[in-house]
Amino acid sequence: MKHLGKIALLIAGIGTLCAALMLFGARLGLWEPITGFGLYRTYFNPLAAVIAGAGLLALVIHLVRKEKAQALLGGVAAFIGVALLIPLIASSFNPTTRAAPIHDISTDTVNPPLFEVLDDTRAGASNTLDYGGPELAEAQAAAYPDIAPLETDLSADEAFQRALTVAQDLGWEIVAADADRLRFEATARTSVFYFADDVVVVVTPLEDGSRVDMRGVSRVGRSDQGVNAARIRDFQQRFRE
């Protein structure tokens, strides 16, 4: 009993390491992103509950026994467990709106930019790069009405270079770039789970500037949880800065 606080803190340390691996194991090359996501959905909250429970048990027992040092260790373990449970607690009080069941987002839904280099053989992909047509366009307009082409005063060549620079600054892997045709394809990854989304950017000359269109497609999943729309917004905001 006298070492229960240390044991609880050890459980918290090992549990936190396991939780981190669920979130970032794919980035370390341990498994595919979908595997880490599956581990997270199955084990993350139960693991956090075990850590919190062990910490609270140690805290109460050591407080009753008036063992302040061990009680402090139990309190730290309990705090770690509760911190890991915050996403679950927050979603219970304020449920997030379910994202639209689409994973292909384009600034131009009439003539969406096409992928030429990236194809359906890309690693781990279960989603096709063929555009879904009017039904997809209608679903996107309902879910993300703000997604639209970016018009700029820059010349087409300047806009292309600016777009390429922004993409590189965002850490995207540039798969192919064609300065003559003012287009490039890239792969962007999410910070958590390391899911891969494929991106194509095309610049079109205008009379008094240029237009930048962008399309993002997630490799797996029916819904991208709004990630591609958020990426387009972030790209456009950084482009304007």
- According to the model, what pLDDT value does residue 94 have? 77
Cα–Cα distance for residue pair 229/200, rounded to 1 Å: 14
- According to the model, what pLDDT value does residue 45 have? 96
Per-residue pLDDT of the chain (241 residues; tens, 9 = 90+): 778 999 999 999 999 999 999 999 999 999 999 999 999 999 999 999 999 999 999 999 999 988 889 999 999 999 999 999 999 888 888 777 777 899 999 999 999 999 999 876 677 788 889 899 999 999 999 999 999 999 999 999 999 999 999 999 999 999 999 999 999 999 999 999 999 999 999 999 999 999 999 999 999 988 899 999 999 999 999 999 8
Q: What is the residue whose two structure tokens read 């709106």?
A: 97
Q: pTM for this structure? A: 0.84
Q: 3-class SS at 228?
A: helix
Residues 157-185 as b or e (16 or more Cβ within 10 Å = b): eebbebbbebbeeeebeebebeeeebbbb
- According to the model, what pLDDT value does residue 95 have? 72
- According to the model, what pLDDT value does residue 120 have? 66
Class of residue 200 by CB neighbours under 10 A (exposed 0-12, middle 13-18, buried 19+): buried
Cα–Cα distance for residue pair 159/182, rounded to 1 Å: 9
Cα–Cα distance for residue pair 116/55, rounded to 1 Å: 54
| C-alpha triplet 61, 64, 70: angle, nearest 5° | 55
- According to the model, what pLDDT value does residue 50 have? 96
Class of residue 48 by CB neighbours under 10 A (exposed 0-12, middle 13-18, buried 19+): buried
Cα–Cα distance for residue pair 170/235, rounded to 1 Å: 8
Two tokens, residue 117? 């280099």
Helix segments in 25-67, DSSP class H: 33-39, 45-64
Which residues is 106 bridged to in the sheet? 215
Question: What letter represents residue 232's amino acid?
Answer: I
Sequence-distant (6+) residues with CB within 8 A of 190 are 33, 197, 227
- According to the model, what pLDDT value does residue 119 have? 78
Two tokens, residue 241? 């800065």
- According to the model, what pLDDT value does residue 29 have? 92
pLDDT in tens, 33-63: 999 999 999 999 999 999 999 999 999 999 9
